Amino acid sequence: MQPSPPSRRSFLQTSASGFGWLALQSLLADRSFGSQVQLTTPHLAPKAKRVVWFFLDGGLSHLDSFDHKPRLNQDHGKPLQIAGKKEDITGRTTNAILGSPFAFQRYGECGKMVSDLFPNIGSCVDDLTFLHGVHGPSPDHESAIGMLHGGSLLQGFPSVGSWAHYGLGSENQNLPGFVVMGSRKRMYRTNGFLPPVHQGSPFFQDPARPLSDLVMAEKIKSLQQNKMRAVGQLDRDFLKSSAQNQIIEAAIANHEKAYVMQDAVPEATDLTKETAATLALYGVGTERKETDEFGRQCLVARRLLERGVRFIEIVSNGWDQHGDLKEKHAQNARAIDRPIAGLLKDLKGRGLLEDTLVVFATEFGRTPNTEGGGSKPGRDHHPWGFTIWMAGAGLRPGTSHGQLDDFGYFPVEGAVDIHDIHATVLHLLGIDHERLTYRYSGRDFRLTDVHGKLVKEILA
């Protein structure tokens, strides 16, 4: 059997006495070397250079946050009568309409109605673009999350962050190009069938530390370098014997990246250099217990964006309120409202919002009718109409597109599905969603599959 020819990585790694991987770092920033992507320049003139994607895991109630429906309070307790009403998910949902327990008020010059859950985000509405006619195909958490992140109800498809990294690479050779904060769920950061180099790096899995295992175990740097040299040689030998396996190449690249991240990540996540005013803007500090954890993630995200990280997802957990909606939604909102508004204002103040895309999404909304009843009612899953908002690069600020019926159940105009959201996000990054493909299992795959259209109404 003829040995496989060496890959470009292994050729460089075997040069310079087996220390070629240090020089390789400059090449890893070039997506044409570090991955199999064929896109050498953006298809379109990009409006956004980077993305922050907020995800509220569990299902934020659109009816209690950004889509004001006075009819719910007017008809509170009456039976919900609407043509085409879907079957309830849990079997515990009643037909009684549940009025919102939160008051709404107008914000900004655009006069957008926002609930008391999000007064700080409300102060930013003139910079936000709301999509009120979003609908999805599944009321199940896992499949709906899969659709929102990977464009498929099935598991194992690459996440939107992986697709963005595959298409555009990273601008910083010493930091990951795709980062996910605040969750251990792999589906948010999975590369699926894309090359493993496009998998997201998990930050803040431990709230106390941005990233695990950053501190050097050895007492002196030269000892670590000797170990890395030995490990590198073992890796190269294994790679040769495995016919240049893509997964092994990715593991080697991870070792290389981890080495330089020992210096780059502590610098990027060091908040001691931030002013007291900035820390307060994000709600960071021991005296701000409710917002400190999420605020740190948002502030670190800004610092990573400044250093060239392409795509950052920040996850807020615990929004699945089948009961006790009033207390739990309020508790969750208090943790994220100030930090998210702080990030928006900070990006704008630094001139970064004009070429940064911010997305605020959840896998589905909540029903207008009551689940659970009693003194602490909740709402069931509702994918047939809900809200996603965006801000920043290439968008029409202070606008709302789409509308649900008076009960917040079905779209009556401006319906937008998840594939349309993905197509629009890629477009703003300079990528034609129909041309960004990856060959796998005998066919060309896209994030938008065979669907997706631009939501042109929200584009500047």
pLDDT digits (tens, 9 = 90+) for 184-217: 888 899 999 999 889 999 998 777 778 776 666 6
Sign of the C-alpha dihedral computed for residues 130, 134, 139 and 144 taken in this order: negative
Q: Give the type of residue at 347.
A: L
Q: What is the pLDDT of residues 102-160, one digit of tens each?
A: 999 999 999 999 999 999 999 999 999 999 999 999 999 999 999 999 999 998 999 99
Q: What is the pLDDT of residues 83-107, one digit of tens each?
A: 999 988 888 899 999 999 999 999 9
**Residues present in the chain in total:** 460
Under DSSP, the state recorded for 155 is S
Q: Give the type of residue at 200.
A: G
According to the model, what pLDDT value does residue 244 have? 60
CA distances in angstroms from 242 to 82, 208, 413, listed in the order given = 60, 39, 55
Whether the CB-CB separation of 264 and 175 falls below 8 Å is answered with yes
CA distances in angstroms from 356 to 46, 63, 275, 289, 384, listed in the order given = 11, 28, 23, 28, 29
CA distances in angstroms from 117 to 33, 337, 339, listed in the order given = 46, 8, 13
Task: Specify the DSSP element, H or E, that contains 160.
Answer: helix 160-168
DSSP-assigned letters across all residues of 400-435 = EE-EE-TTS-SEEES-EEHHHHHHHHHHHTT--TTT
142 burial class (0-12, 13-18, 19+ CB within 10 angstroms)? middle
Q: How many CB atoms lie within 10 A of CB 11?
A: 11
Instruction: Please give the model's pTM, rounded to 2 decimal places.
Output: 0.87
According to the model, what pLDDT value does residue 4 have? 44
Whether the CB-CB separation of 140 and 148 falls below 8 Å is answered with no
Under DSSP, the state recorded for 253 is H
DSSP-assigned letters across all residues of 90-154 = SS-EEEEE---SS-EEEETTTTEEEETT-HHHHTTGGGEEEEEEEE-S--SHHHHHHHHHHSSSS
pLDDT by 10s per residue, the chain, length 460: 344 444 444 444 444 434 443 444 444 434 433 344 334 578 899 999 999 999 999 999 999 999 999 999 999 999 999 999 998 888 889 999 999 999 999 999 999 999 999 999 999 999 999 999 999 999 999 999 999 999 999 989 999 999 999 999 888 889 999 999 999 888 899 999 999 889 999 998 777 778 776 666 667 777 767 777 787 777 777 777 776 676 777 777 766 777 677 788 889 999 999 999 999 999 999 899 999 999 999 999 999 999 999 999 999 999 999 999 999 999 999 999 999 999 999 999 999 999 999 999 999 999 999 998 789 999 999 999 999 999 999 999 999 999 999 999 999 999 999 999 999 999 999 999 999 999 999 999 999 999 999 999 999 9
